[in-house]
Amino acid sequence: MKIAITGGAGLLGRKLAEHLAASGRLGGKEITGLTLHDVVPPAAPEAAPFPVKLLTGDLPGEGETDRIIAERPDAIFHLAAIVSGEAEQDFDKGYRINLDGTHQLYESVRLAYADAEKKPRLVFASSIAVFGAPFPEVIPDDFHLTPLTSYGTQKAIGELLLADYTRKGMLDGVGIRLPTICIRPGKPNKAASGFFSNICREPLAGKEAVLPVSEDVLHWHASPRAAMGFLTRAATIDPNLLGARRSLTMPGLAVTVGEQIAALRRVAGEALVKRIRREPDSFIAKIVAGWPRKFDAARALKLGFTADASFDDIIRVHIEDELGGKIAA
């Protein structure tokens, strides 16, 4: 089977490409080709047992989404997006990439596979930001879409379009509402949720981190490793199990910032925790206040998606996968 990934230079795109290269298979089928696309040049995963095509370009640019699917992939992972903080500050850019780019990708698939009997699986990386306050204590899978950010609005629209194109038999879409990915490796990005990772990753690397909100902020997390499980499960799930409702809230861990810090203390010691500096930021705090905190992901759990076991585990996964097992002194 052939695969294409948008946002191939991003965290999840890179990890997914590496995961596919290491396995050589997806859903029991041999992978025969991979296309990676991003606005910055993506890197080919090491030692891939299949040809890798690398594309760089502007997602909603003329003909760009046609190029992405030129090899007629059987599965498309649409991970490209302007992140929440940036989409909130650059209104035009957010709509151009997250709405126009997404819609154009669906259109390209619709036209390219018009005569195909089997439509490609399109896995859309949605977000819990499609939900906005006020919330019940635990948010059910069928809570109404009430985004309070432009990013969340764009993701909600991506879900609605995905369902309609799927209903019309133009593609075979599955949307997964990802928890905040924690611990993100690498450098801080422009996502307003960045600090959830920073306060763990930076101390583990011997650096100082800034905490812009209070310790009682509750949030919904999944490790990059859990996210790989979500993506591959979404790519291979029997569509008959889904029905008309094509987007699912992924299972995560609901923990407070204080619980994150306690886990860090348990796994890595008190000295590291001292590297977290409190610096309240009302812009971040306001965005975060509108975010959902805790979900009942019963539907996804029943469909075979699995969460991390604990935040201690999330930290251990990071130390293992990103730091070669070593914590900075």
Which chain residues interact with a copy of itself by CB under 8 A? 91, 132, 142-148, 150, 153, 156-157, 160-161, 163-164, 167-168, 244-245
Classified as helix, coil or strand, 187 is: coil
Going by C-alpha positions, the residue among 203, 204, 329 that lies closest to residue 277 is 203
Reported for 56-64, long-range contacts at CB under 8 A and 24+ positions apart, including other chains, are: 59/6, 59/97, 59/101, 59/104, 59/105, 60/96, 60/97, 60/100, 60/101, 60/104, 64/37, 64/104
Distance, first Cα to last Cα, the chain: 45
Residue with smaller CB distance to a copy of itself, 150 or 232: 150
Q: Determine the Cα–Cα distance for residues 104 and 69; give it in Å rounded to an integer.
A: 12
- Token pair in block for residue 268: 């890595």
For 31, 171, 172, the CA distances from 113, given in Å and listed in that order, are: 20, 8, 11
Q: Is 165 a catalytic residue?
A: no
Q: Determine the Cα–Cα distance for residues 197 and 86; give it in Å rounded to an integer.
A: 17
Least distance CB 90 / a copy of itself (angstroms): 12
Least distance CB 111 / a copy of itself (angstroms): 11
Least distance CB 98 / a copy of itself (angstroms): 11
- Token pair in block for residue 77: 């992972």
Least distance CB 248 / a copy of itself (angstroms): 13
Ordered DSSP codes for 116-144 = -SSPPEEEEEEEGGG--SS--SSB-TT--
Evaluate the CA torsion angle 123, 124, 125, 127 in order and state its sign: negative
Eight-state DSSP code of residue 100: I
Residue with smaller CB distance to a copy of itself, 182 or 284: 284
Residue with smaller CB distance to a copy of itself, 145 or 323: 145
Residue with smaller CB distance to a copy of itself, 40 or 114: 114
Residue with smaller CB distance to a copy of itself, 266 or 286: 286
* Cis before 82? omega within 30: no
Least distance CB 89 / a copy of itself (angstroms): 11
Least distance CB 115 / a copy of itself (angstroms): 16
Catalytic residue among 106, 113, 151, 165: 151
| Other CB atoms within 10 A of residue 301 CB | 15
Residue with smaller CB distance to a copy of itself, 239 or 269: 239
Q: Determine the Cα–Cα distance for residues 235 and 76; give it in Å rounded to an integer.
A: 8
Q: Which residue numbers are catalytic?
A: 151
